[in-house]
Amino acid sequence: MGYSSSVYKAAADRLFDRRIKAERDADRRRMAIYEKLPRTKELENQISKCGIKAARAVIKGGNVVSEIEKLRDQNLSMQKELKEILISGGYDENAFEPDYSCKKCGDTGYYEENGKTLVCSCMKQALIACACEELNRTAPLTLSTFDTFSLDYYDKAEDTSIGISPYNQMCKILKYCKSYAENFSKNSESILMKGATGLGKTHLSLAIANEVIKKGFGVIYVSAPSLMQRLEKQYFSRNDDSAINMLLECDLLIVDDLGTEFHGQFSVSQMYNIFNSRMLSNKPLIINTNLTMRELEKIYTERFVSRISGNAQKLDFLGNDIRVRKK
């Protein structure tokens, strides 16, 4: 898939930062270990000298094979001693090596296989994440987190028509959302958040978005009206379709305020296509709405609504408008 050059640059920068950090951390670890276990410094020095001696032996000629074998044995026994000292000092035996995020490519983004240079999956993931971030630039992503979500706003008195208090219901929803974010994967289930205005649907979906983005996944958060605007603009100007591709490709698509967009024929069918192709490829979707299922069916047809709700975990938000309570 093609990305803009700014996305390529952002992804390459991200991997570069990871690599530098892993290498700096390793240097810092080495210094601390040298201080605590001075023998490790001696051993590392001698091991590197072994390499030089081997090179000299080759140049000098004579009985090269036996000389090299001797050096190799010395080297191995020093390596062994080094590992033992590290382990008994409470360190990992590879404590001197950088701990790269991606073991396959050492955070370079590329690896060699059968003489070919290939793009690593971590680079592909960084490209998706950066492309999503570019699309999210105008979204209010950082303000709503799990930490700023409080259960104090919800009444503890049971709602007799449903048999549960708003407080208990929202406890369950909060717990579900936290665990959803924590265990997120590319094939996580979809969520349909329903409920009246001002009950925290946007807040919790942004909290999920924040956590999932931190894990390196590509997340797009968009309100249904702005999604429609973008799709129409793109359709009528026949732009490149990379934004649409990202809606289909991203790891998590969050569509807020479904039902508040202008719902012409075009928007209904476009929305259907996007939701449907994500569902077909098992890619998670979070949809928020303050409409009832009935109202949604009127706009989007029964088939559309039952398809979405059959494929998603439904969360029914309860309580009184928190926008009003907070004032």
Ligand X SMILES: Nc1ncnc2c1ncn2[C@@H]1O[C@H](COP(=O)(O)OP(=O)(O)OP(=O)(O)O)[C@@H](O)[C@H]1O
Q: Under the criterion CB under 5 A, does residue 11 sit at the interface with Zn ion?
A: no
Q: Identify which of residues 15 and 287 has a Cβ nearer to Mg ion in the complex.
A: 287
Element (H, E) at 159: none
Residue whose beta carbon is closest to ligand X: 200
Contact partner at residue 150 from ligand X, Zn ion, Mg ion, none, CB < 5 to 8 Å by partner kind: ligand X
Question: How many Cα neighbours within 13 Å face the side chain of 150?
Answer: 7
Element (H, E) at 43: helix 38-60
- Residue span binding Zn ion (CB under 5 A) among the ranges 118-126, 219-227, 249-257, 293-301: 118-126
CA triplet 77, 79, 80: central angle to 5 degrees?
Answer: 65
Q: Under the criterion CB under 6 A, does residue 169 sit at the interface with ligand X?
A: no
Measured CA to CA in angstroms, residue 151 lies from 73, 173, 325 at distances of 65, 11, 13
- Sheet with 219-223: strands ordered across: 219-223, 252-256, 285-289, 190-194, 312-316
Q: Under the criterion CB under 6 A, does residue 259 sit at the interface with ligand X?
A: no
| CA 294 – CA 292 distance, rounded (Å) | 5
Residues ≥6 apart with Cβ < 8 Å to 110: 117, 118, 119, 120, 123
- β-pair type (116-119, 110-113): antiparallel
**Residue of the chain from 33, 37, 122, 274 that contacts Zn ion (CB under 5 A):** 122
**Residue of the chain from 198, 218, 259, 284 that contacts ligand X (CB under 6 A):** 198
Q: How far is the CB of 268 from ligand X (least distance, A)?
A: 20
- Residue span binding Mg ion (CB under 5 A) among the ranges 37-45, 114-122, 201-209, 214-222: 201-209
| CA 53 – CA 60 distance, rounded (Å) | 10
Q: Under the criterion CB under 5 A, does residue 120 sit at the interface with Zn ion?
A: yes
- Residue span binding ligand X (CB under 6 A) among the ranges 194-202, 235-243, 277-285, 308-316: 194-202
Q: How far is the CB of 167 from Zn ion (least distance, A)?
A: 45
CA triplet 326, 225, 285: central angle to 5 degrees?
Answer: 85
- Residue span binding ligand X (CB under 6 A) among the ranges 74-82, 144-152, 160-168, 234-242: 144-152
Q: How far is the CB of 256 from Mg ion (least distance, A)?
A: 6
| CA 264 – CA 94 distance, rounded (Å) | 61
Residues 86-115 that bind Zn ion (CB under 5 A): 102, 104-105
Q: Under the criterion CB under 6 A, does residue 322 sit at the interface with ligand X?
A: yes
Q: Under the criterion CB under 5 A, does residue 127 sit at the interface with Zn ion?
A: no
Q: Which residues bind ligand X (CB under 6 A)?
A: 144, 148-150, 153, 197-203, 257, 290, 322-323, 326
Q: Which residues bind Mg ion (CB under 5 A)?
A: 201-202
Q: Which residues bind Zn ion (CB under 5 A)?
A: 102, 104-105, 120, 122
